[in-house]
């Protein structure tokens, strides 16, 4: 268990996970793995294809207009045909965007991918904490370390490409680490997406300040992030839609996987001076050190939001990097 400091308020997802761990579970098969999920939970009942009218009756779900316009279909995957996309009905997150030397980023990326320069000789690394209170895979938390990259096939200078990605609200990235807190989230991420997921304790709290932690598998600290509570602003549903596109290999072939986000209450601060990121040692700390991630450029907090995760789609055979 994480040693939560005084004043740390677990998120709704943390409390739901604790309830699930104390309750009954059932076995489900995904790909070639069998894992335990909460009995009577979303995955047990719906297997990633819930009726939105039934979801609307669940406590704490919120409005579903964003999801009702997105059809769910049976699509091919490396584990057979599955229902997609996955819906995340209540999302909280904290993201820290940091500068890092281009030479370090190039050394950590596959040769085909190029980091996107935001400053002379410096690229971008995003450290993100997510808490999914209500989602198709049952509640879980997740941490991501990703490098912002040039869009496959992009032409022109990095500055123009960065502006293009920001203008279109679609940032391209390569994820280097994506640990999670539940077996079903790990299994689906590894089996269907071949993403670098493993199981470890994670916690994110946004009440009374930002308190985020990820531990090693033995419970000892890896990374901690703290900051004063930002002033989050409400925005109408679907007024600030954005996308993140992961570029990664699936069975040796390059794919893109899109995440569509619908923030409902969020805040953004440039060059934050009161954010503290402590590296205690562990795989995530070591990865940030290897990337040379240092200067904090932007801090984003989503107190309430929604997201949609699509299945990987192969890049065109003639796509150039």
| pLDDT tens digits, 1-42 | 333 332 333 333 443 444 444 579 999 999 889 999 999 999
CA distance 179 to 259: 17
For residue 24, give Cα distances in angstroms to 41, 192, 232: 10, 26, 37
Whether the predicted pLDDT of 253 surpasses 70: yes
Report the number of secondary-structure helices (H) and strands (E) in the chain. Answer: 8, 17
pLDDT tens profile 269-285: 999 999 999 999 999 99
Question: Helix, strand, coil shares of the chain as percentages rounded to 5?
Answer: 20, 45, 40
Are 204 and 129 spatial neighbours (Cβ–Cβ below 8 Å)?
yes
pLDDT of residue 9: 34
Half-sphere exposure of 262 (CA within 13 A, CB side): 20
* Mean pLDDT to the nearest integer, 170-199: 97
Q: Tell me the mean pLDDT in the region 132-142.
A: 96
In a domain, 319, yes or no: no
Whether 320 has a pLDDT exceeding 70, the answer reads no
Highest-pLDDT range among 20-24, 46-50, 300-304: 300-304
Does the pLDDT of residue 65 top 60, yes or no? yes
Which tokens in the block code for residue 234?
Answer: 């409400």
Residue 49 phi, psi (nearest 5): -135, 60
Q: The tokens 């890896």 sit on which residue?
A: 222
Domain span at residue 248 reads 14-314
Q: Give mean pLDDT, residues 159-182.
A: 95
Whether 7 maps to a domain, the answer reads no
Q: Which residue has the higher pLDDT, 12 or 217?
A: 217
Residue 1 maps to a domain: no
Q: Name the more confident of 113 and 155.
A: 113
N residues, the chain: 321
The reply to whether 8 falls in a domain is no
- The per-residue pLDDT for 18 is 40
Is the per-residue pLDDT at 235 higher than 70?
A: yes
Q: Is residue 277 part of a domain?
A: yes
Examine residue 85 and say whether the peptide bond preceding it is cis (omega within 30 degrees of 0). Answer: yes
Candidates 200, 136, 184, 137; CA nearest to 36 is 184
Give pLDDT, residue 50: 85
Q: What is the CATH number of the domain that holds 279?
A: 2.40.400.10
The reported pLDDT for the residue numbered 11 is: 39
Provide the pLDDT for residue 1.
30
Residue 4 is assigned to a structural domain of this protein: no
Q: Which of 61, 121, 78, 72 is nearest to 294 (CA)?
A: 121
What average pLDDT is seen over the chain? 91
**71-120 pLDDT per residue, tens:** 999 999 999 999 999 999 999 999 999 999 999 999 999 999 999 999 99
Number of folded domains that form the chain: 1
In a domain, 187, yes or no: yes
């Amino acid at each position: 268990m994480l040693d939560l400091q005084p004043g740390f308020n677990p998120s709704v997802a943390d409390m739901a996970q604790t309830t699930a761990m104390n309750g009954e579970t059932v076995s489900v098969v995904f790909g070639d793995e069998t894992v335990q999920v909460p009995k009577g939970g979303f995955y047990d009942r719906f297997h990633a294809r819930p009726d939105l009218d039934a979801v609307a009756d669940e406590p704490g779900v919120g409005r579903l207009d964003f999801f009702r316009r997105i059809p769910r279909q049976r699509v091919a995957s490396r584990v057979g045909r599955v229902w997609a996309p996955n819906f995340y009905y209540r999302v909280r997150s904290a993201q820290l965007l940091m500068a890092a030397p281009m030479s370090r980023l190039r050394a950590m990326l596959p040769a085909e991918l190029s980091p996107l320069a935001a400053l002379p000789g410096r690229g971008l690394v995003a450290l993100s904490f997510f808490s999914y209170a209500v989602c198709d895979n049952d509640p879980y938390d997740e941490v991501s370390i990703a490098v912002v990259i040039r869009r496959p096939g992009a032409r022109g200078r990095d500055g123009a490409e960065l502006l293009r990605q920001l203008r279109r609200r679609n940032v391209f990235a390569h994820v280097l680490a994506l640990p999670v807190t539940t077996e079903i989230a790990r299994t689906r991420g590894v089996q269907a997406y071949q993403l670098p997921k493993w199981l470890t304790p994670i916690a994110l709290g946004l009440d009374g300040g930002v308190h985020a932690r990820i531990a090693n598998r033995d419970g000892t600290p890896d990374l901690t992030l703290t900051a004063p509570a930002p002033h989050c602003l409400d925005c109408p549903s679907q007024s600030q839609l954005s996308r993140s596109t992961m570029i990664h290999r699936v069975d040796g072939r390059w794919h893109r996987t899109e995440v569509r986000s619908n923030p409902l209450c969020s805040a953004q601060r440039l060059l934050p001076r009161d954010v503290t990121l402590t590296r205690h040692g562990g795989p995530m700390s070591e990865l940030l050190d290897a990337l040379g991630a240092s200067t904090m450029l932007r801090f984003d907090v989503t107190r309430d939001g929604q997201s949609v995760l699509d299945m990987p789609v192969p890049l065109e055979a003639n796509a150039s990097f």
